[in-house]
Amino acid sequence: MKQQFLPICRQDMIDRGWEQVDFVYISGDAYVDHPSFGHAIITRELEAFGYKVGIIAQPDWKDKNSIMIYGEPRLGFLVSAGNMDSMVNHYSVSKKRRSKDSFTPGGVMGRRPDYATIVYSNLIRQVYKKTPIILGGIEASLRRMAHYDYWSDKLKRSVLLDSGADLISYGMGERSIIEIAEALDSGIDVKDITFIDGTVCRVKSLDSVYDAVMLPAFEDLKADKLNYARSFYTQYCNTDPFTGKRLVEPYGEHMYIVQNPPSKPLSQQEMDETYSYPYMRTYHPSYEKDGGVPAISEVKFSLISNRGCFGGCNFCALTFHQGRIIQTRSHESLLEEAEHITQDKDFKGYIHDVGGPTADFRHPSCEKQLKYGVCKNRQCLFPTPCKNLKADHKDYVSLLRKLRKIPKVKKVFIRSGIRFDYVLADKDDTFFKELCKYHVSGQLKVAPEHVSDAVLTCMGKPRNEVYQKFTEKYKKINEQLGMKQYLVPYLMSSHPGSTLKEAVELAEYLRDLGYMPEQVQDFYPTPSTISTCMYYTGVDPRTMKPVYVPKNPHEKAMQRALIQYRNPQNYDIVLEALKKAGRMDLVGYDKHCLLRPKRHGGKNQGTSYSKSRAPERGNDSGHRNTSGSGNASGGKRPYKKKAIRNVHKKKGR
């Protein structure tokens, strides 16, 4: 059978000789048949198991006819907001409307609604009262239980209730979606499907629910933020597929949301199968007239080698979505895909990335995880690497060497990020040396996020001295190789724990570095992260100790401006911040000063503004460049070459 896209309209269904589809998949993204897009993986997975799937991409949510083009599906509707939470897709951290949507043809904004999962599901319910609706993707996955919603500044119910849907397939979804399909196909009523791992259901009675941990009722969560902090931490401790318990969240006297334990991780063979389906690897040709779908450019010549992350950053939602156990593809699978990429007419010889949430994780952090799961009360890398950590890059080095040898491949880049503390934990420097020699193009982007140890502790990141050690080693290796390459740090302002004191400390670090980012990532409170829980409750849910949270928009603006203190437009607000922080010693003519006094007449005598471009992380924290069902594609931007001249020049960084 000729390789082809899945149906996107009724005529496509008829052309295939189908009288009815088994599932209709409704997506907030345009249809891109590439394994970096959640809808592509889930629909191809269902196809591989013999199910007929029709896709409705970005339906008109104001017109119920837009979801009726196939008629009623035999088994149900699958609904996803897309690769990003629709609110993150639409709004910046300052809640301003974004101008572009990379997941829409032509980058046009406004083709999906706010809270798309809820809106699409309610639209279906207007027409099909009893047809099963299964939610998936990152929006539903991270809103599966009661959650803080930053955009409305409210605690919201499980998305399952507000959507009127029947089930949520949370996480990556390959296992649970097939089990759901088989259960429906066997005649089981959707209301009786309460037992599948990786799903959330709603029930009116707990008679069929066993071995469950009872969470506080929703009304109790609304009444006391500390109740929410405790509930959230219970959820956090039950995100492991081997040790996670079934959780129940009551709503009134006769409604319960039941979260079953997470699905088991995929084996390497299953991962290989998932990425071997007959993807067309591009957007549907119907979008060509609109200029295509911009998001494909980030992933078209990239390889997804892993999923999951044991890094455990507090502002990242990967623990709740992909989990902490690393799953990888085999070398053979990746090499086969790379060979296929080289045959593309647009391939210029550059593989843009080989990675996943963290590029250099190619195996579980320790031997016991695939049998016993991850530790509940300890992180693998924070505050220091666990003594059981297996820090070994041999497999990744071997893979990269094989990829470099493929004919037509000129360069293999690593763009999805590395964990610098994990690199240092490896006693063998082979990867570090080959990274610098072969996989960096003038600059390496890493994510220290901050320099204050107090803030780094709230972030779940290693102490600043670890990053400084990495910078020194990076400089030394490049000198040995005779290469001039720089480090470009990702930095974040206004994270819980950051006062103006810590923000000034970060500004001083940038002063010494001689680096000034053109764009700053302000902390973005997205659903289901520890940092967002801190933001909402004012406490660390793990210890229940108070945490300072910068919420005032003006204070947040001051923290942002301090990172860009050289920008003349920021002079007044930086001066205000320094006064408020009691750091007027940084206003003067000495080399350590951030600002010069104003000249007579009110004009600034400020320093020049060096426009170094740091990539804007347009994804919500924790939706970074993950792959598969409901994942976020990358938020990376290219750098201007002349913009990084001063990066890490001073102090050898």
Residues of the binding site: 309, 313, 316
Number of neighbours of residue 267 by Cβ within 10 angstroms: 12
Q: What is the C-alpha separation between 276 and 333, in angstroms, rounded?
A: 8
Structure tokens at 446: 């890493």
Q: Which of 390, 378, 399, 400 is nearest to 422 (CA)?
A: 390
Contact between 156 and 146 under an 8 Å Cβ cutoff? The reply is yes
Q: What is the CA radius of gyration of the chain?
A: 25
Q: What is the C-alpha separation between 211 and 245, in angstroms, rounded?
A: 8
Secondary structure of residue 469 in the 3-state scheme? helix
Q: What is the C-alpha separation between 569 and 565, in angstroms, rounded?
A: 9
Residue type, 54: G
547 CB-contact burial (10 Å; exposed 0-12 / middle 13-18 / buried 19+): buried
SS3 sequence, 394-445?
HHHHHHHHHHHCCCCCCEECCCCCCCHHHHHHCCCCHHHHHHHHHCCCCEEE
Q: What is the C-alpha separation between 638 and 614, in angstroms, rounded?
A: 9
Q: Are strands 76-80 and 53-57 parallel, antiparallel or unpaired?
A: unpaired
Distances (CA, A) of 42 to 1, 37, 79: 20, 9, 11
Phi, psi at 609, each rounded to 5°: -105, 110
Structure tokens at 195: 């037992």
Phi, psi at 277, each rounded to 5°: -65, 160
> What residues contact residue 585 under an 8 Å CB cut-off, 6+ apart?
593
Binding site for [4Fe-4S] cluster, by residue number, is: 309, 313, 316
- How many angstroms separate the first and last alpha carbons of the chain? 56
Q: Which residues lie across from 489 on neighbouring strands?
A: 446
Secondary structure of residue 529 in the 3-state scheme? coil
Q: What is the C-alpha separation between 581 and 585, in angstroms, rounded?
A: 11
Q: What is the C-alpha separation between 170 and 136, in angstroms, rounded?
A: 6
Phi, psi at 327, each rounded to 5°: -120, 135
Contact between 387 and 425 under an 8 Å Cβ cutoff? The reply is no
Handedness of CA 480, 482, 483, 489 (dihedral sign): positive
Q: Which of 350, 285, 358, 351 is nearest to 327 (CA)?
A: 358
Distances (CA, A) of 181 to 22, 132, 173, 176, 461: 9, 11, 12, 9, 40
Q: What is the C-alpha separation between 370 and 385, in angstroms, rounded?
A: 19
Q: What is the C-alpha separation between 617 and 634, in angstroms, rounded?
A: 8
Query: Strands, DSSP E only, in 352-409?
Result: 353-355
